[in-house]
Every structure is written in structure tokens, then in C-alpha cells.
């Protein structure tokens, strides 16, 4: 009996949590809302509805490595990313925003949202520096918590997505048995 | 449609009657901004429609929501610093020497908003007294039901903990709860939160050794300030201490208080025989 | 008063510097911990260091440890300004010698409140800026 119990326990702890076990959309939305209020402006509202995604999109993200491993990815149209950067810099914004200014500011928003997502997850975990470009691919469709919002009429998505492929489904009977 | 004069007057009268808060003419924009979310939630297009709806069918819940929406709940940890430094530097030592070792100290945060003020006091006392949980009780009251519930829950957003809470106190007294920070069970046990309208007869409470009545008298007219100060005094110990907001004073309002300067702030104490 | 702002994001450096300049600080900045140490090595003596955590080359925690191991910089006040907000991480930063911790996202008020706690709000406001009444000096309308 004892041996069997231990075996069961070990197996169940081997199961990796997926993000939806750890955080919900409402928490991700409230993290994003706080970031927008503080960084973008007091009256900046995120309306939680999906918008028509633009063709020319860009993403910024940070990776989280710990009990849960994955990325926090912001995706929006290039124009919106630029507007967001301008809003972030406010008076400090230069006349002409360089490409690097936008990458930097848009990346910093991912860093702020990502850092707070990380703190809401079981830790300790590490946080990477922000990256900007084409979002990392979704490895496991069930390991994703995605929130779609509209900011100043433009769609922005915040996706907390696992970096690991799904675990192979153990066969319900004896796992190590070789099929004949 | 923007807010009509009649609707504004109706809101003003209602808020005054229910909370004594005086909305000066010219605050139409404030009424609109604060009530628009409620109107939208009820499926109405503007605030004038909201006022009409509630006027025709008065409903205790909607009236309360209107009044609550017009309270200003701005607050922060250790707000203005000095009134809290004074608690540990002067008030507490004086109370400890005047009271028996088993006497409970009773403190009242009389317009506690979301709870930063009562929990600031709780943290200070917990650090200053070895047996604070059994020695001190903090009563936190506010007119707003939402604020009382928030105080009871003891949960604060990231933006709120950033406002004036020293980091060593954050890590000592709070834990993470999702995206928020939750104050320790120990401190929550010291704080009892309930609804209380300062402008109405007060429930039986106290007697209090220390009262924080901060940044709320500013919303009232002179007669209301006078009657509140009188009622508060009736709930205080004769050697108690009252702290007001930085822009508030008893001087010229109610002369039954003595002003005591403590460092850079002032406290008020009931005048003997007044 | 002087402050050194260390953050790998130049947007964030501009924001934090802007707030500090508005409060009357003279500000310099650096893009990571190593650069921050270089500024200190020049002999420029700030009263305040605002330090991000996750940075390339030398991160904020390493920077704090380096500053704390040099007696010449003993009196400087260190405030972390970072999105790193796990409870255990804040404890680590304080243990390494940071005095305060501001979690991103923050508002300008948050920085001002923390500096008030640290006794680092410059009394003198730069010339040309109208001096605001301290709240304790405001007139009471009765
Ligand atoms: C600006 S806050 C002050 C909070 C805290 N005392 C401080 O100094 O930071 C004012 C609070 O007074 C409350 N309030 C307004 N009218 C009131 C009344 N008639 N009775 C009790 N509380 C009232 C509001 O709900 C609000 O939470």
C-alpha cells in the first residue's frame, strides 16, 4: 500500500502546472490596467473587448523562468506601439521618435507587466530583459492566458503563454509497457 | 446631455443630507464624472437620466451609491508623516505611563477610507509594543460601505503600496495575494472596521485614547464641524489625543480643545472643564 | 541634491529623471550597473541612487552589493525602482543594502512620497518655479 501511495504522489507532482491554474484573465487585466494608469496616463482606459487585429503587428515580451516557464507578450499594431511609446514618454518624448525609442518604451511596458505577472505566480522565478519583434510561438494551446483589450480604439493583446510543449499524455494503464 | 441645474441641486441636497458633504456650485463637472460610471452601469446614457430615475423611484441602495460616489477617498500610508511619528514619540509613551499594564488602548480612525490610516497605526504599534495585538484595539470607520469592506479585507494594489509605505514595513507586514498585497492576519485582528456617519449621532464606542480625524472636516460647513468635534470629544478619554489633517484645526471652530505642538505637527486635547 | 538614475530602458531613465528634476534634483544617468559604478568612480557624489534590477552587464542587485562594499559610498541612499516585485526579491534587495523600493508601475507621487520618507526631498525648489505651499502651511478656510 505504502509504495503505491508514494508512487501516486510522485506522479501527480510531476504534472507541470499550466498558466490557467496559476493566474486568471481578470488578474492579468488588472495588472495591465495599473501599468497603463501609472505609465501611460491617469485616464487611459483599457476596454476588455477583442478588436480587429491590424496587419502590421509588433510584439514585446519578457520571459519568466521558474516553477512556471513562459513569456508575457504584448502585441499590437506598429502605429499603436509608437503611440504608446509617445504616451509613456509624455513631455520627455523627442520630436521624432526613433525606431529604438519605440522598441525601448514598448519593451519597458512588457517588462512592467511581466514583472507583476511573475510576482503573482509561484516563485522564485527569473525575469529576462525585454525583447521586441515577432512573438514567440505558442507551444501548448492550453498553457495560455490571453486578454484582449482596446486602447484608444486600437487592439492590444496581453498573452501569458507557456514556453514548453505539452507533456506526453500518459497511457491510462501501465506507462512503461511496450505495445506488442 | 450635460447635467441640468435641477439635477445638480438635487444631488447636492441629497449628498448634504446624507453625509453633510458640501458640494460648492461649480462642482457640476465633479458630479458628472463621479456618477457617469454608475449611470452607464444602469444602462443609462447620462447623469441627468440617472438623477431622474432615482428621483422618481427612490431606492436606498441607489441613493447610497450616489452619496458614496461623491466621497473623496484619497489617502496614503503615513500621510504627512508627522502625525504618525508623534504617536510613537510622544503620545504612546504618555499613555503607557498613565494607563495600567492591562488596560487596552483604544484608537479610532474616524474617516478611514480604504484602510491605509488604521493599518499605518497598527504597524507602528505592533513594532512599538510587544503585545500590541492584545493591548490595542483600532476602530476604523467610514461613511462609505465600499471603503469599510476594503479596510476589512486589508488588500492593497501595487499602486497603493507604492504610496508612502516604507519597504521594510511592506515585507514585514504584507504578503502577496495575486496582483495585490494583503496585510497580515495579526494586524487585521487589531483593526475593526464598520460604517459610521460622522454627521449623524454616533454609535456607542470608545472611550478613545487617540482619535485620527484627518482630511474629512474639510468637506463640511462650520456648524457640522462644530457638532462633529463635540461628538468626538464625548467619545474620548479626558486625557486623549486628537489628530486632524494638515489643513484642519479646532482653532476658531470649537474652543474646547487645547493645541499641543509635537515636533512639526499638532495634536488637540480636550480642555479641562470646557 | 544629486541623483544617479540607473536603468537599461532609456524611456524609464527619462521618466525617473524628469520626476527628480521636477523635485529639484541634479540628475545623471547610466544604462546598467557597470556604467553606474563608472559615474561614481569619477568622483561625482550623488545623495540618491535609483536602481533598476534587471539590466545587462551588471544587474541592480550586483550594483547595490558593489556600492555597499565600498566605504567611500557608505552615506548614499539607494532606492530600487523596478518591476521585480516578488516578496522574497524585495527582501533580498533590502538585505543587500537598498533603503527603499519602488515597484514599477509607479506614479510621480510615489517617488515623492518615498523621498519624503527618506528625508531626501530638496527643500529648495529651483529658481523660476513657484514655491508650492507645504500642505501643513495651507490656509484653512473656515
Ligand atoms: C480624503 S479621505 C481621508 C482618509 C484618511 N483619513 C486620510 O487622511 O488619508 C475622506 C474620507 O471621509 C469619508 N467621509 C466623508 N463624509 C463622511 C461622513 N459624513 N462620515 C464619515 N466618513 C465620511 C469618505 O468616505 C472618505 O473615505
User: pLDDT value at position B101?
Assistant: 84
Same domain flag for B43 and B102: no
B54-94: pLDDT as tens digits:
999 989 999 999 999 999 999 999 999 999 999 999 999 99
Domain limit, last residue, from B50, B74, B98:
B74
Residue nearest to atom 23 of ligand 1 (CA): B143
- B219 CA from centroid of ligand 1 (Å): 9
Q: Which pTM was predicted?
A: 0.90
A76-116: pLDDT as tens digits:
999 999 999 999 988 777 788 899 999 999 999 999 999 99
At B272, the pLDDT band (50, 70, 90 cuts) reads: confident
User: pLDDT value at position B150?
Assistant: 98
Instruction: Say how far apart CA C112 and CA C118 lie, in whole Å.
Output: 10
Q: Is the CB of B197 under 6 A from ligand 1?
A: yes
At A16, the pLDDT band (50, 70, 90 cuts) reads: confident
Kindly list the residues from chain B whose CB atom is less than 8 angstroms away from the CB atom of residue A116: 158, 179
Kindly list the residues from chain C whose CB atom is less than 8 angstroms away from the CB atom of residue A102: none
Shortest Cα distance, chain C CAs vs residue A5, angstroms: 33
What is the helix (H) or strand (E) element at residue B266, kind and residue range? strand B265-270
Residues β-bridged to residue B36: none
Q: What angle do CA C89, C59, A40 make, to 5 degrees?
A: 75
Which chain B residue shows the shortest CA-CA distance from A113? B179
Same domain flag for B104 and B234: yes
At A166, the pLDDT band (50, 70, 90 cuts) reads: confident
Report the percent of chain B where pLDDT is more than 70.
99
Same domain flag for B261 and B201: yes
User: pLDDT value at position A14?
Assistant: 58
Cell reading at B74: 484619497
Which residues, including other chains, have CB under 8 Å from residue B250's CB and lie 6 or more apart? B229, B242, B244, B257, B259, B268
User: pLDDT value at position A180?
Assistant: 53
How many Cα atoms are found within 13 Å in the side-chain-facing hemisphere of C127? 0
User: pLDDT value at position C51?
Assistant: 98
Picking from B181, B203, B192, the residue whose alpha carbon sits closest to that of residue B108 is B192
Total number of domains constituting chain B: 2
Q: How far is CA B126 from CA B81, B200, C12, C20, C35, in A?
A: 17, 32, 37, 33, 42
Kindly list the residues from chain C whose CB atom is less than 8 angstroms away from the CB atom of residue A92: 11, 14-15, 18
Does the pLDDT of residue B19 top 60, yes or no? yes
Residue nearest to atom 26 of ligand 1 (CA): B73
Does the pLDDT of residue A68 top 80, yes or no? yes
Domain limit, last residue, from B41, B74, B107:
B74
Does the pLDDT of residue C107 top 90, yes or no? yes
Q: Is the CB of B122 under 6 A from ligand 1?
A: no
Cell reading at A105: 518604451
- C123 interface with B at CB cutoff 8 Å: no
At A159, the pLDDT band (50, 70, 90 cuts) reads: very high
Structural domain span for residue B58: 5-74
- C133 CA from centroid of ligand 1 (Å): 23
Residue C104 is part of a domain; what is its CATH number?
3.40.50.2300
Window C:31-70, CB contacts with A under 8 Å: 54-56
Q: What angle do CA A95, A101, A103 make, to 5 degrees?
A: 145
Which residues, including other chains, have CB under 8 Å from residue C71's CB and lie 6 or more apart? none
Tally Cβ neighbours within 10 Å of residue B79.
23
Instruction: Say how far apart CA C50 and CA A102 lie, in whole Å.
Output: 23
Q: Is the CB of B232 under 6 A from ligand 1?
A: no
Q: Is residue C7 domain-resident?
A: no
Instruction: Say how far apart CA B249 and CA B213 lie, in whole Å.
Output: 11
Same domain flag for B235 and B150: yes
User: pLDDT value at position C135?
Assistant: 37
Which chain B residue shows the shortest CA-CA distance from C115? B164
Instruction: Say how far apart CA C52 and CA C18 lie, in whole Å.
Output: 16
Same domain flag for B142 and B248: yes
Query: Is A18-165 assigned to CATH 3.40.50.2300?
Result: no
Q: What is the mean pLDDT of the segment spanning C99-116?
A: 95
Does the pLDDT of residue A178 top 60, yes or no? no
Residue B108 is part of a domain; what is its CATH number?
3.40.50.150
Report the percent of chain B where pLDDT is more than 90.
92
| Ligand 1 atom at minimum distance from B200 CA | 19
Total number of domains constituting chain C: 1
At C134, the pLDDT band (50, 70, 90 cuts) reads: very low
Picking from B63, B16, B1, B7, the residue whose alpha carbon sits closest to that of residue B199 is B16
Residue nearest to atom 17 of ligand 1 (CA): B143
C47-94: pLDDT as tens digits:
999 999 999 999 999 999 999 999 999 999 999 999 999 999 999 999
Q: What is the DSSP letter of B87?
A: I
User: pLDDT value at position B179?
Assistant: 92
Identify the three-state secondary structure at position B99: coil
User: pLDDT value at position A91?
Assistant: 76
Structural domain span for residue C52: 18-117
Q: What is the mean pLDDT of the segment spanning A151-177?
A: 81
ipTM above 0.90, yes or no: no
- A140 interface with C at CB cutoff 8 Å: no
Domain limit, last residue, from B41, B56, B74:
B74
Residue B24 is part of a domain; what is its CATH number?
1.10.155.10
User: pLDDT value at position B60?
Assistant: 93
User: pLDDT value at position C132?
Assistant: 39
Picking from B23, B43, B161, the residue whose alpha carbon sits closest to that of residue B34 is B23
**Better-predicted residue by pLDDT, C123 or B135:** B135
Report phi then psi at C100, rounded to 5: -135, 170
β-pair type (A57-65, A126-127): antiparallel
Same domain flag for B193 and B120: yes
Does the pLDDT of residue A168 top 90, yes or no? no
Instruction: Say how far apart CA B140 and CA B190 lie, in whole Å.
Output: 10
User: pLDDT value at position A11?
Assistant: 47
Residues β-bridged to residue A155: A150
Report phi then psi at B49, rounded to 5: -65, -40
β-pair type (B208-213, C100-103): unpaired
C20-55: pLDDT as tens digits:
999 999 999 999 999 999 999 999 999 999 999 999
Does the pLDDT of residue B215 top 60, yes or no? yes
Residues β-bridged to residue B156: B181
Q: Burial code of A107-128, b = ≥16 C-beta within 10 A, e = fewer?
A: bbbbbbbbbbbbbbbebebebe
Q: What is the mean pLDDT of the segment spanning C86-105?
A: 97
- C94 interface with B at CB cutoff 8 Å: yes
Which chain C residue shows the shortest CA-CA distance from B215? C135
- C103 interface with B at CB cutoff 8 Å: yes
- B123 interface with C at CB cutoff 8 Å: no
Q: Is the CB of B142 under 6 A from ligand 1?
A: yes
Cα B92 to the center of its chain, rounded Å: 21
Domain boundaries, chain A: 18-165
Does the pLDDT of residue A9 top 50, yes or no? no
Q: What is the mean pLDDT of the segment spanning C105-127?
A: 84
Q: In the B/C pair of chains, how many CB contacts fall below 8 A?
A: 63
Which residues, including other chains, have CB under 8 Å from residue B61's CB and lie 6 or more apart? none
Instruction: Say how far apart CA B28 and CA C112 lie, in whole Å.
Output: 31
- B253 interface with C at CB cutoff 8 Å: yes
Mean pLDDT (chain B, rounded): 95
Contact A27 B158 (CB under 8 A): no
Long-range contacts of A83-90 (CB under 8 A, 24+ apart): A83/A152, A83/A154, A84/A40, A84/A109, A84/A151, A85/C11, A87/A40, A87/A41, A87/A44, A88/A39, A88/A40, A88/C11, A88/C15, A89/C11, A89/C14, A89/C15, A90/A41, A90/C15
Picking from B31, B35, B24, the residue whose alpha carbon sits closest to that of residue B220 is B24
Amino acid at each position: 500500500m505504502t509504495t503505491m501511495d508514494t508512487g501516486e504522489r510522485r506522479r501527480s507532482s510531476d504534472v507541470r502546472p499550466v498558466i490557467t491554474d496559476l493566474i486568471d484573465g481578470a488578474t492579468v487585466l488588472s495588472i495591465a490596467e495599473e501599468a497603463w494608469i501609472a505609465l501611460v496616463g491617469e485616464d487611459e482606459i483599457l476596454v476588455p473587448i477583442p478588436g480587429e487585429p491590424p496587419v502590421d503587428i509588433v510584439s514585446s515580451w519578457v520571459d519568466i523562468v521558474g516553477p512556471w516557464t513562459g513569456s508575457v507578450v504584448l502585441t499590437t499594431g506598429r502605429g499603436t506601439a509608437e503611440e504608446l511609446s509617445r504616451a509613456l514618454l509624455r513631455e520627455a518624448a523627442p520630436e521624432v521618435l526613433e525606431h529604438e525609442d519605440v522598441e525601448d518604451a514598448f519593451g519597458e511596458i512588457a517588462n512592467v507587466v511581466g514583472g507583476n505577472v511573475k510576482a503573482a505566480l509561484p516563485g522564485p522565478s527569473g525575469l529576462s530583459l525585454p525583447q521586441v519583434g515577432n512573438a514567440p510561438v505558442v507551444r501548448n494551446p492550453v498553457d495560455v492566458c490571453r486578454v484582449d483589450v482596446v486602447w484608444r480604439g486600437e487592439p492590444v493583446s496581453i498573452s501569458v503563454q507557456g514556453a514548453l510543449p505539452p507533456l506526453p499524455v500518459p497511457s491510462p494503464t501501465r506507462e512503461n509497457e511496450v505495445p506488442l | 446631455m450635460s447635467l441640468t441645474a435641477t439635477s445638480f441641486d438635487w444631488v447636492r441636497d441629497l449628498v448634504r443630507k446624507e453625509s453633510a458633504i458640501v458640494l460648492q456650485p461649480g462642482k457640476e463637472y465633479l458630479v458628472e464624472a463621479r456618477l457617469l460610471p454608475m449611470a452607464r452601469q444602469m444602462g443609462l446614457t447620462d447623469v441627468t437620466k440617472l438623477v431622474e430615475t432615482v428621483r422618481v423611484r427612490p431606492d436606498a441602495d441607489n441613493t447610497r451609491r450616489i452619496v458614496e460616489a461623491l466621497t473623496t477617498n484619497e489617502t496614503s500610508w503615513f500621510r504627512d508623516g508627522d502625525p504618525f511619528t508623534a504617536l510613537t514619540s510622544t503620545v504612546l509613551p504618555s499613555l503607557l505611563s498613565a494607563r495600567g499594564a492591562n488596560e487596552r488602548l483604544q484608537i479610532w480612525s474616524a474617516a478611514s477610507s480604504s484602510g491605509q490610516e488604521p493599518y499605518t497605526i497598527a504597524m507602528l504599534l505592533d513594532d512599538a509594543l510587544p503585545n500590541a495585538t492584545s493591548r490595542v484595539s483600532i476602530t476604523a470607520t467610514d461613511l462609505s460601505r465600499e471603503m469599510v469592506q476594503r479596510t476589512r479585507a486589508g488588500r492593497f494594489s501595487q499602486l497603493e503600496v507604492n504610496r508612502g509605505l516604507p519597504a521594510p514595513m511592506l515585507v514585514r507586514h504584507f504578503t502577496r495575494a495575486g496582483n495585490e498585497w494583503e496585510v497580515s492576519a495579526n494586524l487585521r485582528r487589531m483593526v475593526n472596521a464598520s460604517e459610521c456617519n460622522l454627521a449623524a449621532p454616533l454609535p456607542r464606542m470608545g472611550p478613545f485614547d487617540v482619535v485620527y480625524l484627518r482630511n474629512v472636516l474639510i468637506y463640511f460647513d462650520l456648524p457640522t464641524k462644530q457638532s462633529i468635534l463635540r461628538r468626538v470629544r464625548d467619545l474620548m478619554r479626558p486625557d486623549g489625543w486628537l489628530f486632524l489633517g494638515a489643513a484642519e484645526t479646532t482653532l476658531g471652530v470649537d474652543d474646547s480643545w487645547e493645541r499641543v505642538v509635537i515636533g512639526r505637527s499638532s495634536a488637540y486635547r480636550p480642555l479641562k472643564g470646557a | 541634491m544629486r541623483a544617479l538614475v540607473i536603468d537599461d530602458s532609456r524611456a524609464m531613465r527619462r521618466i525617473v529623471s524628469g520626476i527628480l528634476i521636477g523635485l529639484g534634483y541634479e540628475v545623471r544617468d547610466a544604462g546598467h550597473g557597470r556604467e553606474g559604478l563608472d559615474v561614481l568612480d569619477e568622483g561625482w557624489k550623488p545623495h540618491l541612487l535609483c536602481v533598476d534590477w534587471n539590466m545587462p552587464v551588471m544587474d541592480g542587485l550586483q550594483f547595490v552589493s558593489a556600492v555597499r562594499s565600498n566605504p567611500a559610498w557608505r552615506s548614499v541612499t539607494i532606492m530600487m525602482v523596478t518591476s521585480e516585485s516578488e516578496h522574497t526579491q524585495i527582501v533580498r534587495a533590502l538585505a543587500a543594502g537598498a533603503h527603499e523600493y519602488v515597484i514599477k508601475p509607479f506614479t510621480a507621487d510615489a517617488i515623492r512620497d518615498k523621498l519624503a520618507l527618506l528625508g531626501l526631498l530638496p527643500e529648495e525648489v529651483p529658481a523660476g518655479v513657484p514655491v508650492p505651499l507645504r500642505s501643513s502651511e495651507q490656509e484653512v478656510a473656515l
